[in-house]
Amino acid sequence: MEPGSGLRTERFQAALSTVDPGSADKRTADWFQAVALGFHDARYESKHISAVVEAYGQDGRWLTGVYDDEAPEYAWNPAAPVATYATMTHELNTGGALLPIHQITSVTVRPTHRRRGILRQMITSDLSRAKDEGFAAAALTASEAVIYGRFGFGVATSERSVEVDARGRLELTVPPSGTAAVADLAKLEALAPEIFRAHLEHTRGALGRQVGYAKRAAGLWGDLPEPEKDVRAAVHYDPSGTPDGYVSYKFLPWETEPHTLKVLDLVAADDTARLELWRYLGSIDLVERISQAAAPEADPLPWALADRRRYAVKAHEDQLWVRALDPAAMLRARGFDADGALVLAITDPLDLASGRWLVQVDAGAAVVTALSAEDKPPSGVPVVEADAAAFGSLYLGSVSAQILAAAGGIRGSSGAVEALGRLFDVARAPYCSTHF
């Protein structure tokens, strides 16, 4: 922060105490308690923080805290940061490659310290650092939808919350394939990342996961890093006997009406495995409703049900937000379903991704050439301009160029916008089931 503001910023990795290796060090513990305050969570117990420290190390997370050295006498824990921020890196399936993405999470600013430029300072300095480190894009999931557009982030994937009427069991119109088995939870923690890797490699929009996902799938962690004894799971095997999907779930209390099975995590390498896991769920006795909070937009399940009215969409929410840092690298990494050429200009409020590029796509791969402001576009090549946030939304193909143009995020002639749409349209909406 600025000199004289009374605020200072520290960036560090979570660590255990050198005095008591079974506990987190004080700086780490204070940071966790500040995050809990910001997200209205219960205060962490020491044992919970220490359990998460190891996982954060495996995730490669960096933590940032902004500290107020002029806290008044009765302020809560003056050693705790008044703002928090964290980052890590995983791969994003762009439809053409697995692109390393700079992920942002755990963003909080205490209400007593708002309107002092703290968030802007944290995010702009971090994005500049990420660009200097060679990241092509950044991503986050947003608790509030009004914050991040002004920093150049655009909604890139969405998800559905669904409920399926399972009374009388589910009847699918597709023939059975492979086999399913109730999972040995003691082994699922190691198996889950292998299955997710297959999902990641085959699913546009999929994003690599932090280690806590496998622990939750195996019932080792719940909302806190403690075992959840009511978690069950199943694994699906393809016809050759290779595991290609898993689902973890819990039965809600008997008082819940109708009797409900809650899907905690469902990961499948392909549509066949996804539907077979639903076939398994729909065959469980005493279940009248199955709920899933992170279903894909392009879900084959309602189309495979003999009675599609059993499938109800209860909510539709944005999931992954993407922000360009190096548009040319992003375009080269993307897979395209159509060929074509255009000049794309991007305007960026933070001036991290501004520029003009000639994009020529052949056989699904892009050749990208930087153009100066003085360079004239090749004759007959359409020219379009996009805000950084609109480009983030367009990138994975979750929304059409025409819709973004109607909303003001893309500008150009109707023919140029149509050309952009043809180039970026995808056969299937991207799907990201990773929350962070």
Residue 90 and residue 436: Cα distance in Å, rounded? Answer: 11
Is 436 among the residues known to form the active site? yes
Residue 308 and residue 302: Cα distance in Å, rounded? Answer: 5
Q: Residue 399: which residues within 8 A CB-CB, separation 6 or more? A: 155, 393
- Per the CB < 8 A criterion, the answer to whether 180 and 236 are in contact is yes
In this structure, the strands spanning 260-268 and 289-296 are parallel
Q: What tokens appear for 333 in the block?
A: 């990494």
The answer to whether 232 is annotated as binding is: no
In Å, the largest CA–CA distance within the chain is 70
CA 91 vs. chain centroid, Å, equals 11
The answer to whether 116 is annotated as binding is: yes
The answer to whether 119 is annotated as binding is: yes
Residue 12 and residue 80: Cα distance in Å, rounded? Answer: 14
The answer to whether 115 is annotated as binding is: yes
The answer to whether 252 is annotated as binding is: no
The answer to whether 7 is annotated as binding is: no
Length of the chain counted residue by residue:
436
The answer to whether 109 is annotated as binding is: yes
Single-letter amino acid code for the residue at 181: A
Is 148 among the residues known to form the active site? yes
Single-letter amino acid code for the residue at 194: E
Using N-to-C axis directions, what is the helix angle for 26-38 and 46-59, rounded to 10°? 100
Of the candidates 148, 246, 249, 391, the residue annotated as catalytic is 148
The answer to whether 144 is annotated as binding is: yes
Residue 34 and residue 39: Cα distance in Å, rounded? Answer: 9
Of the candidates 151, 153, 395, 436, the residue annotated as catalytic is 436
- Per the CB < 8 A criterion, the answer to whether 53 and 14 are in contact is yes
Residue 225 and residue 127: Cα distance in Å, rounded? Answer: 30
The answer to whether 6 is annotated as binding is: no
Q: Which residues are catalytic?
A: 148, 436
Annotated binding site: 107-109, 115-120, 143-144
Annotated binding site for acetyl-CoA: 107-109, 115-120, 143-144
